Amino acid sequence: MPFLSADERQFLEPLARLAYCNPFTPERLELEQAALGDQYEVEEHVAWSRTAPEHTERPNVARLTKRADELSTALRGRLADGRSATSDELRLYEDLVIYALYYRWIATLSPAGVGGHKSAVASAWESFSKEYQHFHRVPGLPAPESTPEHLFACLLQVRRAFRGIFDCILGGSMPAARLRAMVWQSIFTHDMRRYRRVLYDRMADLSTLVTGPSGTGKELVARAIAQSQFVAFDPKTRSLRGKPDQGFVALNLSALSPTLIESELFGHCRGAFTGAAGERSGWLEGCPPHGAVFLDEIGELDPAVQVKLLRVLQNRTFCRLGESAERTFVGKVIAATNRDLAAEMHAGRFRQDLYYRLCSDRIETPSLREQVNDRPEALASLVTLISERVAGPEAEQLAAEVQQWIADHLPPDYPWPGNIRELEQCVRNVLVRREYAPRPNHQTRRPELPGWLAGADAGELTADELLRRYCTAVYARLDNYEQTAKRLGLDRRTVRSKIDQDLLAELRAGAGD
């Protein structure tokens, strides 16, 4: 008698593929349907879109997990009774156990557990490892492909990635759904089995380039990828070997001069430039193996810094400004631009070798207009989701007011040049003033450089003026002398003496823009 009945095999084969599929693609629904057969319930919403409930709350998933639980127990019993199974049947058994354990222990983790909080992770591990041993310590069963701690770390990562993408990247249109699926693929590739076996700690070698118009979530995507990187689990301390939410730093390259970019990225030693009173480590140095440095507006990077960045991507080495000692970068680079980088390369403004190095993985964020053209209701659903963030329990009423305002005042083909950022602004404006004033010639791209740096770009500033403006700009952001001094590697008194009060007032007034 075969180890698996035809009916069990019919359930297990799609389930094994389901355990490793991209949850943001329609393939997931097809596999659920194939596994459940007649029991599959057609759901009102397209389940892979953002308008659907979280997958643990879906009736089809509840049916699948119930059957997976029952079957894993039954099959374990058969193995313990000495029934022989083919290698293919054993592989299906292993995938079934992974699916069942994920839904029993990982998918139910609290947000603290998903974020890597020690006690929540430790208690999930306790239950998980017990069950894991129960299903795998069966006489005659070959050792599974992964150790329990590695599998646990991978499943926690899957959960972190799912939550990060599902919660942050909004939109119920096909382009938004495709974006979520692409972000998932950037994290795990298209082959999650290979990822679990060999790629999990090599993904930092692949840089990601995010392109798309301003305000479409490029930084959001970068953050979701960074916080979903693999973090190993240590069974001795029963904790993760790193904090998943503490490895993301973002640098806006259009707002800084080449020297300041170098200082921020690579760090500097004492005296490397005027005002560098002490030494300071840069973002590359402080980035953990599971972290990422986000380089926004990469298309505006000065050619001299492009060369140094290429070296980082090729050899993973760099030097602090003013030093010759080589240091190593262990994280991932994620870059973004709303420029056409290929055109920049053809025009000779962007290095070809750097371009190809950055393009190993590309993601394109869709404009809001693209989303609305695909599905007109996408606008209303985005307004609702944004209203939930802004007004909490009063979201429904606010969303209705905003939609009414949009219908009364904007043409149906309004282009939303500022994309989702602009829609957020519109929701907030209607909340506060009951109206929104779109700019007639809304600038979709940022100016080349902010006003406070324009003189530097033209080569008109003295080093002291540049330092004054930079100190003021960083102070305007941090609002604290101590932290500004630390960030800039200067002493507190120097920072205080450099603050330009007029510029500070100007920057503060423009902060809400």
Minimum distance between the CB of residue 421 and ligand ATP, rounded to whole angstroms? 4
Residue 424 in contact with ligand ATP, rule: CB under 6 A: yes
Q: How far is the CB of 39 from ligand ATP (least distance, A)?
A: 34
Q: Which is nearer to ligand ATP, 64 or 402 (CB)?
A: 402
Nearer to ligand ATP, 296 or 300 (CB): 296
Quick check: 172 and 165 in contact, CB under 8 A? no
Is residue 507 classed as helix, strand or coil in its secondary structure?
A: helix
In the complex, least distance from residue 473 CB atom to ligand ATP, rounded to whole angstroms: 17
CA–CA gap between residue 199 and residue 203 (Å, rounded):
6
Nearest of 255, 241, 308 to residue 448 by alpha carbon: 255
Question: Shortest distance, CB of residue 220 to ligand ATP, whole angstroms?
Answer: 4
**169 binds ligand ATP per the rule CB under 6 A:** yes
* Closer residue to ligand ATP, CB minimum distance, 213 or 275: 213
For ligand ATP, the closer of residues 116 and 212 by Cβ is: 212
Residue 389: how many other CB atoms lie within 10 Å = 11
Q: What is the x/- site pattern for ligand ATP, positions 186-225, by CB under 6 A?
A: --------------------------x-xxxxxxx-----
Least separation in angstroms between residue 221's CB and ligand ATP is 7
By CB under 6 A, tell whether 406 contacts ligand ATP. no
One residue of 421, 477, 487, 492 binding ligand ATP per CB under 6 A:
421
Residues 291-310 within binding reach of ligand ATP (CB under 6 A):
296
> Judged by CB, which is closer to ligand ATP: 208, or 214?
214
Q: Which is nearer to ligand ATP, 164 or 217 (CB)?
A: 217
Least distance (Å) between residue 169 CB and ligand ATP: 5
- Contacts with ligand ATP, 116-155, as mask; x by CB under 6 A: ----------------------------------------
| DSSP three-state, residue 258 | helix
Closest CA to 292 of 347, 219, 349, 353: 219
Nearer to ligand ATP, 60 or 371 (CB): 371
Nearer to ligand ATP, 220 or 466 (CB): 220
Binding mask 353-372 for ligand ATP (x = CB under 6 A): ------------x-------
**Going by C-beta distance under 8 Å and a sequence separation of 6 or more, which residues neighbour residue 120?**
109, 110, 112, 113
C-alpha distances out from residue 149 to 88, 109, 152, 237, 399, Å? 24, 17, 5, 12, 45
Which residue's Cβ has the minimum distance to ligand ATP? 217
Q: How far is the CB of 179 from ligand ATP (least distance, A)?
A: 7
Tell me how long the chain is: 513
Q: Using CB atoms within 10 Å of the CB of residue 120, give its burial: 0 to 12 exposed, 13 to 18 middle, 19+ buried.
A: middle
The residue among 488, 512, 509 whose CA lies nearest residue 498 is 488
Question: Residue 336 or residue 495: which is nearer to ligand ATP going by CB?
Answer: 336
Contact stretch for ligand ATP (CB under 6 A) within 133-141, 166-174, 433-441, 456-464: 166-174
**Cα(323)–Cα(186) distance, rounded to whole angstroms?**
35
Does 417 engage in binding with ligand ATP (CB under 6 A)? no
DSSP string of 471-492?
HHHHHHHH--HHHHHHHHT--H
Nearest distance from C-beta of residue 214 to ligand ATP, angstroms: 3
* Contacts to ligand ATP from residues 32-91, by CB under 6 A: none
With CA atoms as reference, report the closest residue to 284 among 301, 268, 265.
265
Q: Are 24 and 48 contacting, i.e. CB atoms less than 8 angstroms apart?
A: yes
Residues 187-201 as b or e (16 or more Cβ within 10 Å = b): bbbeebeebbeebbe
Q: Which is nearer to ligand ATP, 89 or 361 (CB)?
A: 361
Q: Please state the closest distance from residue 443 (CB atom) to ligand ATP, in A.
A: 11
DSSP H helices, 41-147, are 59-80, 87-101, 111-114, 118-136
Strands 248-252 and 292-296: parallel
Nearer to ligand ATP, 197 or 442 (CB): 442
Task: Please report whether residue 338 would count as binding ligand ATP according to CB under 6 A.
Answer: yes
DSSP collapsed to 3 states, 271-337: CCCCCCCCCEECHHHHCCCCCEEEEECHHHCCHHHHHHHHHHHHHCEEECECCCCEEECCCEEEEEE
Q: Would you give the distance in Å from CA 243 to the centre of its chain?
A: 15
Taking the complex as a whole, the smallest distance from the CB of residue 98 to ligand ATP amounts, in Å, to 30
Q: Which residues of 309-345 are buried (b: 16+ CB within 10 A; e: fewer)?
A: bbbbbeebebbbbbeeeebebebbbbbbbbeebeebb
**Which residues would be at the binding site for ligand ATP (CB under 6 A)?**
169-171, 212, 214-220, 296, 336, 338, 365, 420-421, 424
